[in-house]
Amino acid sequence: MTMRLTCTVNGQRREVDGVWEGESLLFVLRERMSLPGSKNACEQGECGSCTVYLDGVAVCACLVAAGQAQGREVVTVEGLAPGDGPEDLDPVQRAFLDAGAVQCGFCTPGLVVAAHDLLRRSPRPGDPEIREALAGNLCRCTGYQKILDAVRLAAERTAVS
Ligand code: FES
Ligand code: FES
């Protein structure tokens, strides 16, 4: 059975018809709402590349059924940036670029959302806390060192002294 899905995505009310309740929120975002930032790698909740906020909680969008998003608020990696221009980046996005933490980039959107979530909760995390927060996000390219650098850099730039 299909449904009309109504939810808020990146601050805008969105309505999509013909959504099967059991299809993933990730599919809805990418294929029905033209928001390809959240990546589809494992579709099993194991890689974190599809991480989005759902009512302010970071979740794997591949594990959320579309029906579960009804009436709720979703923020994707696209929604973190303050504007649409190439220079309009969230500090975490900027830090990933500046620290050289992006190689193929497939893991990056999920890592950015996970790091953003960490810094909201804990503005000055130590390395163990960063590692724990990002443990669900897999990267095949970087060896993680530059990702750690990026999160430290974002923390330095954003933490209120
Ligand atoms: S695609 Fe969702 S966790 Fe891998
Ligand atoms: S940069 Fe390629 S998987 Fe992380």
Quick one: CATH architecture of 86-160? Orthogonal Bundle (1.10)
Architecture of domain 2-79: Roll (3.10)
Per-residue pLDDT tens over the stretch 99-144: 999 999 999 999 999 999 999 999 999 999 999 999 999 999 999 9
Mutate which of 23, 25, 60 to test ligand 1's pocket (most atoms within 8 Å of Cβ)?
A: 60
Domain boundaries defined on the chain: 2-79, 86-160
pLDDT at 87 (0 to 100): 85
93-117: burial string, b at 16+ Cβ within 10 Å, e else: bbbbeebebbeeebbbbbbbbbbbb
Q: 53-86, pLDDT tens digit by residue?
A: 999 999 999 999 999 999 999 999 999 998 888 7
Q: Which ligand does the CA of 100 lie closest to?
A: 2
Amino acid (1-letter code) at residue 117: D
> What pTM does this model have?
0.96
Strands 73-75 and 57-60: unpaired
Instruction: Name the residue at shortest CA distance from atom 3 of ligand 1.
Output: 45
Q: Which of 38, 49, 107 to mutate to test the pocket of ligand 1 (most atoms within 8 A of CB)?
A: 49
